[in-house]
Amino acid sequence: MGKTAYIFPGQGSQSVGMGKDLFDSFESAKTVFAEADEALGFEISDLCFGGTDEDLALTENTQPAILTASVAAYKSFRSEGGPKPDFVAGHSLGEYSALVAAGALTLTDAAKTVRNRGTYMQEAVPVGVGAMAAILGLDSETVTDICAKAAEGEVCSPANINSPKQTVIAGHVAAVERACELLKDAGARRTVMLNVSAPFHCALMMPAQERLAADLDLIEFGDLDFPLAENVSACLNTEAERVATALTEQVSSPVRWLEIVENLIKEGADRFVEIGPGKVLSGLVRQISRDVAYFNVTDQESLRNTLNNL
Catalytic residues: 92, 201
d(CA 101, CA 240): 14
Count of other CB atoms within 10 angstroms of residue 33: 24
Query: Assign residue 247 a region: left if phi > 0, alpha if psi is -120 to 50, beta otherwise?
Result: alpha
CB-count burial class (<10 Å; 0-12, 13-18, 19+) for 127: exposed
Positions of E strands within 77-186: 87-90, 130-136, 156-163, 166-172
3-state secondary structure of 144: helix
Beta-bridged to residue 3, according to DSSP, are 269
